[in-house]
Amino acid sequence: MITNTELEQKGNQFPNSVKNIRQEVDTLYFTTENNVILELTVLRDSVVRFRYGTRGILEEDFSYAIDPDNHIGYNHLELSENKNFHIVTTAKLIIKIEKISLQTKILDTEGNLINEDELGFHYEESFTLGGNIVKMSKRSHPGEAFYGLGDKPVHLNLRGRRFSNWATDSYAFGKETDPIYKSVPFYIGLKDKRAYGIFFDNTFKSTFDFCQERLDVTSFWAPGGEMNYYFIYGPEMSEVVQNYTHLTGKPELPPLWTLGFQQCKWSYYPESTVKGIAKKFRDLKIPCDGIYLDIDYMEGFRCFTWNKEYFPDPKRMVKELLNDGFKTIVIIDPGIKIDPDYWVYKEALENGYFCKRADGPDMIGKVWPGECAFPDYTNPEVREWWAGLFKELVGEIGVRGVWNDMNEPAVMEVPGKTFPDDVRHDFDGHPCSHRKAHNVYGTQMARATYEGVKKYVYPKRPLVITRSAYSGAQRFTSSWTGDNVATWEHLWIANNQVQRMCLSGMSFTGTDIGGFAEQPTGELFARWIQLGVFHPFCRVHSSGHHGDQEPWSFDDEVTDIARKFIELRYTFLPYLYTMFYEYATEGIPMLKPLVYFDQEDPHTHYRTDEFIFGNNILVCPIIEPNSKGRRMYLARGRWYNFWTEEYLEGGRELWVDADIDSIPMFVQEGAIIPRYPVQQYVGELSIEELKLDVYYAEDTIDSQVYEDANDGYDYKKGRYSLRNFKLRGKATDLTIQQHKGGNFETEYDTIKLHLIGLPFRIKKIKVDNVAYDLNNLDKEDKFLKLPEDFSVVQIIG
Ligand code: GLC
């Protein structure tokens, strides 16, 4: 064990004895003899911020990650002391701060130790010895597991590894590549089945070590900025993730079509190709809502221009596509081509909107268009200008969504593939170097894009997609996981990344289905589509260098499988929309890793493949070639096999058949799953009835279905429909009560119940206390048609 004295010789400094304490409402300041300040703020009873300043100084408080609308409020805050500790008590936590060292221990109110400092806060300021690093180390315990950190392409449980956060263009990254595109310095610890979270809101290149260097220590540090972290207590992992998402923000509801299927490629051009792809979807009756134009639609890769040879009349084309249900989404990169005749370049140059090197000139780097300059999106004036650039593209031409790429920012042919460290940024009035602004650059670009698209697409809702992101980006944008590869290993990576993103506050994420680099076999494509339809963002994309990657690009069998699963997704649209609503309002992740679903069950702590889609559907992709099925872990509880309706007891491993046209899928008993008919695109059909798949349970279970106009903002004025269902199953009867909220009138008059797993023969049915003619019951399928506004239905055996 290395001693503090030895560490000090290496340049580390430590806080010493507390000499002064000051309280300002929810914030306590502990100042030490050697002038370290700990600012401790209670945001909620279970959310506490720790921020450390040295030399008696705290920086001006500013964060891109924290949602300005984040609500705070706690029930209890009390400061006391004993011989060795100052003690801060909230309604959920006891925080002990050691008087001689500022080291903290955090306990729940029952006295269980949740998290404790090892060395705690320490730092290096001496440039001769390395300089300017803020560090935190925590003790960790055997069996403690760690999750989160955004897009890391590794096993869900991060224990035993070290990662850094520095947004990086990572073409054809692999399992273990680190860092890649996103920086989300937030993790969840699970100790003795109790979960807590730590969000280190520091935008420098932070590093996290989860017991890699030392088995019993977890640490995180950054080469600049402040030690500034939020501690979020559960004990449920769901509470941790929700509180983190409240803190860093939730998205607004996207238009429903963005949850439909999206088709992309680098690149579809000219217009006749785009039209041909669209037509083929309709001819083959494969549902699709979005079609994407990659960089070749532009004139010489100049953003906000069109190649008029390929696209002579974009407005007409976009309209014609829309008439057939296709929304057009275009790519916009940050690199602005240096060309004195190009209006975007000229405007930015004249106004000084480009990022500059420390000694003055504009930052110049090569991207697709050749030499480019790069707007400084960390400047609010630049963001406003950028937003205005979407007027023609979105407001006049009618593009519905914008895809932001290369925003790490990526620079070609240079070491590090990005800006040099000395580049200057405004950072919203806190001028700094690229070392501090790098990780937020992509998010601020997506934010500026979002403001523009939102303004000009109004009264519709916007869609923005980003490759790079920092915590909080979810308020503005969806994301995809970048340039993956068409290999089986990448299918595993895709599954882990999307689950991890969901735990990290960024549910609206998908992967390039089929793989971006290289070419998938038909079998791999089929297996990827089967997984991809369960991801919140569902888009096929490929580099196009090795062949086509449309659902029909393989053989008829693969086309049929792709159609079957895309259709399945469309039938789940109301379920998907409801899970998005729960994400947007409560911060509930759309997919839940098994450990989130049941942290009490230690079997889940190391599972990666199985996840819960929404609240009730357990999915486990097939990720190996030539499979006829697989072994998997069915979480505790009771489940119905989605395909066979077989009733199964969980909490065990089992073999599940899943030939090439199937995927293991189980519905939790008691679930009510809303379904729409298959449509070729959202809004193609008027929905004439809502189907509810009701999975009997001898239990009482609540569920809900959210609907609205699928676009626009009327829902904010109460024009939504929220159906709350209470299912009560007994040995010989099943009751479902409905309570409706909101004042949106759904199109349909009928709700069709499909009863699954009833353990008794139906003798009588009552709907709102009136007997239901059993002759109307479809005996075989047990379909029961009800008025959409029924209050209670009783099915009696
Ligand atoms: C980057 C993106 C990819 C895109 C390509 C061309 O590689 O990650 O999605 O197709 O650039 O724009």
Q: Report the nearest atom of ligand 1 relative to the CA of 543.
A: 10
Sheet holding 617-619, edge to edge: 591-593, 611-613, 617-619, 665-668, 638-641, 647-649
The verdict on 50 and 110 lying in the same domain is: yes
For residue 518, report the distance from its CA to the centre of ligand 1, in Å.
13
pLDDT tens column, 214-247:
999 999 999 999 999 999 999 999 999 999 999 9
Residues near 484 by beta carbon (within 8 Å), at least 6 away in sequence = 172, 173, 490, 493, 494, 511, 512, 515, 516, 517
User: Please, which residues have CB within 8 angstroms of residue 9's CB and are 6 or more apart in sequence?
Assistant: none
Residues with Cβ within 8 Å of 742's Cβ and at least 6 positions away in sequence, in order, are 708, 715, 718, 719, 720, 721, 722
For ligand 1, the distance from its centroid to the CA atom of residue 533, given in whole angstroms, is 22
Q: Are residues 344 and 197 in the same domain?
A: no
CA 154 to chain centre: 16
Q: In this structure, what CATH number is given to the domain that contains residue 173?
A: 2.60.40.1760
Start-to-end CA distance of the chain, whole Å, equals 70
Mean pLDDT across the chain: 97
Region 593-617 average pLDDT: 97
Tens-place pLDDT, residues 127-171: 666 678 999 999 999 999 999 999 999 999 999 999 999 999 999
- 408 catalytic, yes or no? yes
Q: What is the pLDDT of residue 71?
A: 81
Instruction: Report residue 72's pLDDT band, with 50, 70 and 90 as the boundaries.
Output: confident
Out of 45, 98, 408, 689, the active site residue is: 408
Cα within 13 Å of Cα(222), Cβ side: 20
Confidence at residue 127, expressed as pLDDT on a 0 to 100 scale:
67
What is the average pLDDT across 195-201?
Answer: 98
pLDDT in tens, 630-641: 999 999 999 999
Ligand 1, pocket residues at CB < 6 Å: 266, 294-295, 331, 405, 467, 482-483, 541
Three-state DSSP string of 313-364:
CHHHHHHHHHHCCCEEEEEECCCEECCCCCHHHHHHHHHCCECECCCCCECE
Asked if the structure places residue 22 within a domain, the reply is yes
Q: d(Cα 457, Cα 254) in Å, to the nearest integer?
A: 12
CA atoms within 13 A on the CB side of 463: 30
Atom of ligand 1 nearest to the CA of 482: 8
The predicted pLDDT at position 779 comes to 74
Q: Return all residues near 793 (Cβ < 8 A) that are at least 6 apart.
A: 735, 736, 753, 765, 766, 767, 768, 772, 784, 786
**Could you identify the atom of ligand 1 that is nearest to the CA of residue 333?**
12
Q: Which DSSP string corresponds to 454-493?
A: HHHHTTSPPEEEESSEETTGGGT-EEE--S-BSSHHHHHH
pLDDT of residue 129: 64
Which tokens in the block code for residue 587? 């911060």
- Return left, alpha or beta for 210; rule: phi > 0 is left, psi -120 to 50 is alpha, else beta: beta
Q: What confidence tens digit (pLDDT) does each residue in 491-515 have?
A: 999 999 999 999 999 999 999 999 9
Which residue lies with its CA nearest to atom 3 of ligand 1?
483
Answer yes or no: do 432 and 305 share one domain. yes
Residues 45, 124, 405, 601: which is the catalytic one? 405
Ligand 1: nearest atom to the Cα of 265: 10
Query: In the listed set 445, 462, 480, which residue is the last one of a domain according to the structure?
Result: 480
Residue 332 alpha carbon to ligand 1 centre in Å:
11
Q: Is 660 exposed, middle or buried (0-12, 13-18, 19+ CB in 10 A)?
A: middle
State in Å: Cα 400 to ligand 1 middle: 19
Instruction: Assess if residue 677 is contained within a domain.
Output: no
Strands (E), 250-326: 262-263, 290-293
Confidence of residue 319 (pLDDT cuts 50, 70, 90): very high
220 and 142 in a common domain: yes
d(CA 167, CA 443) in angstroms, rounded, equals 11
Looking at the predicted structure, is the pLDDT value of residue 1 above 70? Answer: no
| Per-residue CA distances from 456 to 100, 393, 450 (Å) | 58, 9, 10
- Does residue 565 carry a pLDDT above 70? yes
Token reading at 70 = 């984040």
Which residues are CB-contacts of 276 (< 8 A; sequence separation ≥ 6)? none
Instruction: Determine whether 405 is an active site residue.
Output: yes
Residues 304 and 426 in one domain: yes
Q: Are residues 112 and 182 in the same domain?
A: yes
Is 457 part of a structural domain of the chain?
yes
For residues 182 and 167, is the Cβ–Cβ distance under 8 A? yes
* Domain assignment of residue 207, yes or no: yes
Average pLDDT for 657-679: 98
The total number of structural domains that make up the chain: 3
CA atoms within 13 A on the CB side of 431: 7
Structure tokens belonging to residue 429? 């009035």
Q: Whose CA is nearest to atom 5 of ligand 1?
A: 266
Q: CA 602, CA 591: separation in Å to the nearest integer?
A: 19
What pLDDT does residue 776 have?
Answer: 83
Q: Whose CA is nearest to atom 7 of ligand 1?
A: 483
The ligand 1 atom at the shortest distance from the C-alpha of residue 410 is 1
Which of 593, 583, 601 lies closest to 618 in space, CA to CA? Answer: 593
DSSP code of residue 604 = G
What does residue 65 show for φ and ψ, rounded to 5 degrees?
-80, -40
Q: What is the DSSP string of 154-191?
A: S-S--TTEEEEE-----TT--TT--S-SEE--EEEEEE
- CA dist 497 and 510 (Å) reads 9
151 is catalytic: no
Is 351 part of any domain? yes
Q: Is residue 163 part of a domain?
A: yes
What's the pLDDT tens digit per position in 505-553? 999 999 999 999 999 999 999 999 999 999 999 999 999 988 899 999 9
Which pLDDT belongs to residue 130? 62
Cα-Cα-Cα-Cα dihedral of 549, 551, 556, 558, to 10°? 90
Residue to mutate, 173, 269, 331, ligand 1, most ligand atoms under 8 Å from C-beta: 331
Per-residue pLDDT averaged across 720-732, rounded? 98
Q: How far is the CA of 471 from the centre of ligand 1 (A)?
A: 22
- Which residue range is the domain that position 696 belongs to? 687-796
Contact present, 132 and 223 (Cβ < 8 Å): yes
CATH of the domain at 374: 3.20.20.80
Q: What is the DSSP letter of 732?
A: T
| The pLDDT of residue 10 | 75
Kindly state whether residues 228 and 304 are assigned to the same domain.
no
185 CB burial (10 A radius; 0-12, 13-18, 19+) = buried
HSE-up of residue 426 (Cα within 13 Å, Cβ side): 16
Residue 552 lies in a domain: no
For residues 75-99, average pLDDT = 97
The Cβ of residue 201 has, within 10 Å, a number of other Cβ atoms equal to 23
> Based on the domain organization, do 108 and 234 belong to the same domain?
yes
**DSSP 8-state symbol, 711:** S
- Which tokens go with 140? 């960790």
- In eight-state DSSP terms, residue 302 is B
Q: Residue 316 CB: number of other CB atoms within 10 A? A: 13
d(CA 397, CA 308): 14
Task: Choose which residue among 262, 406, 484 to substitute to test ligand 1 binding: the one with the highest number of ligand atoms within 8 A of its C-beta.
Answer: 406
Assess whether 117 and 191 both reside in one domain: yes
Q: How confident is the model at residue 777 (pLDDT cuts 50, 70, 90)?
A: confident
Q: What is the CATH number of the domain that holds 788?
A: 2.60.40.1180
Length in residues, the chain: 797
Kindly list the distances between the CA atom of residue 514 and the CA atoms of 465, 483, 750, in Å, as whole numbers in the listed order. 19, 11, 39
Percentage of residues of the chain with pLDDT beyond 90: 95
Output the CA 685–ligand 1 centroid distance in Å: 34
**What is the Cα–Cα distance from 785 to 457, expressed in whole angstroms?**
39
Question: Which atom of ligand 1 is least distant from the CA of 294?
Answer: 12
The single-letter code of the amino acid at 378 is: T
Q: Is 170 exposed, middle or buried (0-12, 13-18, 19+ CB in 10 A)?
A: buried
| Residue 264 Cα: closest atom of ligand 1 | 10
- Pocket test of ligand 1: the residue of 171, 264, 266, 368 to mutate, having most ligand atoms within 8 Å of its CB, is 266
Which percentage of the chain shows pLDDT scores above 70?
99
Distance 280 CA to ligand 1 centre (A): 24
User: Which of 431, 461, 480 represents a domain boundary (last residue)?
Assistant: 480
pLDDT of residue 548: 95
Residues 475 and 389 in one domain: yes
Which of the listed residues 171, 483, 539 should we mutate to test ligand 1's pocket, taking the one with most ligand atoms within 8 A of CB?
483
Residue 557: inside a domain: no
Q: Give residue 405 CA to ligand 1 midpoint distance, Å.
A: 7
Of 39, 503, 514, give the one whose Cα is nearest residue 237.
503
**pLDDT average, residue stretch 199-219:** 98
Boundary (domain end) residue, out of 480, 502, 528: 480
3-state SS assignment for residue 96 = strand
371, β-bridge pairs: 366
Distance CA 174, CA 480 (A): 16
Residues 209 and 112 in one domain: yes
pLDDT tens digits for range 325-351: 999 999 999 999 999 999 999 999 999
Residues 315, 433: one domain?
Answer: yes
Give mean pLDDT, residues 29-54: 98
